[in-house]
A and B are shown apart, each in its own frame.
Chain A
């Protein structure tokens, strides 16, 4: 009798869990008949959601890189990272506003404005991230890990508050009808504007007659994200500093004995992570056309989920995880219920941490809490 139970325990539990998912899933939009029905109805939509998912996933992946690099080196969840990205969105918006790109119709002016916004956002976010490390994390490097994590949460609140105040400055952030710092601000769709001013259709697939949308926005996000990822990979694999970073991630003490300046390497890690977050900020602003002081929290959670999904500390994993999370969100928005999308992202985060904390591509990360 006992061996019977032991043998069939796991399948029985598995069947029970699957039944429960079938029973309760529809409440949160996971209704298989409806999903299958919608996919059958228009398979074209699946391709469309794939495109949206890829572009959003690229942004998530870029943010996730910042989490994973920092975790790889000092085993700290830099909780403020999502909020640094939010500052990136606002920096980009303010730069565009100050350079006059928001009001012009001249394509050259627009392109220059966007390039300037990219550079400024990257610089501001990189310095902010380095500053956060100096102020909040450096002196806690040898303290219990939870102390650093609490400090990170505190830093995240501080940066969010900076974003809230920033959003309230009407002379920095054009409001387009919405007022007050708490409201979502609109981020103008400048890329489509460039295309229209050049007499081109923003939808690149319009002439193919497939009825799919692949706009200039999708193209820019995917191309820019790919450039950044390839550049980062090259930097880490092929330069002296990248080597120092990998050595520090492997064993901090040994790296120190080899003459690597640990503080400098950690600062540079935060610098690169912040720069990437700034770039992601500009991309997200141009792609999703909103700026909100609280957007960093959700984006941060999504990106962290992506980093964990791919295997935290693993840079390729973060890219993969980012795309998967982007696809999941797009799929949930499209076929399930947009109200519940965040729940599914959190569910993936919880499940992956519980059942496979090393992630999809992760090596064993030491658990020394």
Chain B
């Protein structure tokens, strides 16, 4: 019972923190989401035999406490924090239904999800699936009705989920640390950009380009992987970092490409000059002054997908984009699961656990690693194509080292080798980066301007210093860095660990436990 109260308080406050930043209708959306989440966590500890009805009733108390905490925080935000930040509190006709639906939704969905645990296994899985599908489909519409405008940022998060899924093949399944993953993202995006932008007078259909981008990324995975994958461990990591850093430099500087055939242009004339011959050869110029990537200015605009009935996807309507990226994720997850469970996936994991033993079993390590590298890269081609079409413009600075590390953060946080973990990690990391931090910035700025700074009027330098540093966006890198360091120190296997990785990472704890036991 104590554990349940703790859970209820954590969940209520967790939701409250987010509501704190957004206010308004976010109460409703979060109430439902947290309800589902709470139901899932309760389900892990209950007695399955009790049956759905009893479980639902049992969960009610927890859900009730959480809902009360949650609504209390929400009201506190609306009537205390918002005025302190210089905003008007929401009107009653929004506050009452929003909080009511949010609180009731939380209780209802907790009970519903908890009840699912009481069903037989197959029905339970089916029920959860239906619940998930309903939530995923309903999200953009709720988002639009409530006017929260989270969809645009959630789409970013989902792009990074695909990247995380791809990197997970390389890092999680095959155990190859890749610090240059953004390079393949860049290749996918630039392929799309070059093939469907007026800058190059090529207008290919997005539905075709996305596959070309995928193939290009995979091809470059093969090209970069072939020489590098002989290395092991940290040397491989650094080589991938080097390759990954070369890509933005290349894309930044390919602004006037001239290729002259060297034999005819200077080798033969040079030799002739050595022998004092005056015979001239004709210099063959293959490409003359081609502006391939437009440097810092980037490629834009880029063509967008078009579908009958929907028309061309527009930037002011995120719903088609949302469903497109969800489809891409589903496709990726399907493919990755098939790969993981097949012969190739098992070979990856065997190589990860012990390469020498795997070779003895007849696995070709180079081939295995190369496929992991190329397939991992292929999914970032997907993400790159979608990203280019969605943003409508690509710039080299997007694909630098920090992007590779953000994707690595997603994989590490969610759990290396676990698909669900990576999806959760992507949503947490990118949600924090794209939604949470900007909202926190606005909140802090409002509080600073209206409440805290006036209290410091006596000291103008201090006032300036505080105002300048109270910007959470400044601390973005700190957030990613801390995620990596803390996860590695406390829970290297991630939030949702894969069983094998956990065993591997805690191997020496086991041996030391055995040693202790022997000593005693």
**A residues with CB within 8 A of B:** 19, 22-24, 26-28, 32-33, 76-77, 135-136, 139-140, 142-151, 153-162, 164-165, 168-169, 171, 181, 297, 301, 304, 308, 339-340, 342-343, 346-347, 349-350, 353-354, 357, 367-369
Contact = CB atoms under 8 A, between A and B. Distances in A.
Contacts of B505: 143-144, 147
A135 B267 contact: no
Interface string B454-469: 0000000100010011
A359 B216 CA distance: 33
Nearest to B482: A158
A346 B242 CA distance: 5
B233 interface: yes
Q: Which 9 A-B pairs have the closest CB atoms?
A: A369-B233, A154-B484, A157-B481, A158-B481, A22-B262, A154-B485, A161-B477, A161-B478, A369-B232
Contacts of A161: 474-478, 481
B148 interface: no
B453 interface: no
Contacts of A19: 262
B219 interface: no
Contacts of A146: 175, 177, 233-234, 237
Interface of B: 175, 177, 179, 227-228, 230-239, 241-243, 245-246, 249-250, 252-254, 257-262, 265-267, 270, 401-402, 405, 408, 412, 461, 465, 468-469, 474-478, 480-485, 488-489, 492, 504-505, 508
Contacts of A350: 228, 239, 242-243, 246
Given A154-B485, A157-B405, A171-B461, A349 B238 contact: yes
Given A154-B484, A168-B469, A24 B259 contact: yes
A357 B234 CA distance: 12
A23 B261 contact: yes
Contacts, number: 165
Given A151-B488, A353-B231, A158 B245 contact: no
B235 A342 contact: no
A153 B408 contact: yes
Given A369-B232, A369-B233, A154 B249 contact: no
A136 B235 contact: no
Contacts of A339: 249, 252-253
Contacts of A28: 250, 253
Contact of A168 (B179, B246, B261, B474): B474
A80 B366 CA distance: 31
Contact of A165 (B227, B261, B474, B488): B474
Nearest to A20: B262
A76 B481 CA distance: 18
A169 B465 contact: yes
Contact of B259 (A27, A33, A162, A164): A27
Contacts of B254: 27
> Which of A135, A144, A369 has most chain B Cβ within 10 Å?
A369
A307 B478 CA distance: 27
Contact of B488 (A76, A150, A297, A301): A150
28 contacts: A19-B262, A22-B267, A23-B262, A27-B258, A27-B259, A28-B250, A77-B237, A77-B238, A140-B488, A142-B508, A149-B234, A150-B408, A151-B485, A153-B408, A154-B483, A157-B481, A158-B477, A159-B481, A164-B477, A169-B469, A171-B465, A347-B246, A350-B228, A350-B242, A353-B239, A354-B228, A357-B235, A367-B235
A343 B183 CA distance: 14
Given A32-B266, A150-B412, A157-B484, A143 B508 contact: yes
A252 B239 CA distance: 27
Given A76-B234, A157-B484, A159-B481, 16 more contacts: A26-B258, A136-B489, A140-B488, A142-B508, A149-B177, A149-B237, A150-B177, A304-B238, A339-B249, A346-B246, A349-B242, A350-B228, A350-B243, A354-B228, A357-B231, A369-B233
Contacts of B482: 154, 158
A71 B236 CA distance: 15
Contacts of B245: 301, 342, 346
A162 B242 CA distance: 24
A181 B474 contact: yes
> Which of A142, A147, A154 has most chain B Cβ within 10 Å?
A154
A186 B318 CA distance: 44
Contacts of B484: 150-151, 153-154, 157
A41 B482 CA distance: 53
Nearest to A342: B249
A351 B27 CA distance: 55
> Which of A145, A340, A342, A353 has most chain B Cβ within 10 Å?
A353
A157 to B, nearest CB: 3
A349 B245 CA distance: 11
Given A19-B262, A146-B237, A346-B242, A340 B253 contact: yes
A161 B476 CA distance: 8
A19 B179 CA distance: 30
B326 to A, nearest CB: 30
Contacts of B246: 343, 346-347, 350
B284 to A, nearest CB: 11
Contacts of A169: 465, 468-469
Contacts of B230: 354
Contacts of B261: 23
> Which of B227, B230, B484 has most chain A Cβ within 10 Å?
B484
A268 B250 CA distance: 40
B477 A147 contact: no
A67 to B, nearest CB: 11
B178 to A, nearest CB: 11
A308 B238 CA distance: 11
Contacts of B179: 153
Contacts of A32: 266
A280 to B, nearest CB: 21
Contacts of B401: 297
A160 B405 CA distance: 14
B267 A157 contact: no
Nearest to A27: B257
B495 to A, nearest CB: 15
Contacts of A140: 488-489
Contact of A156 (B262, B408, B412, B481): B481
A301 B237 CA distance: 13
Contacts of A158: 477-478, 481-482, 485
Nearest to B486: A154
Nearest to A169: B465
> Which of B177, B259, B480, B489 has most chain A Cβ within 10 Å?
B489
A144 B493 CA distance: 12
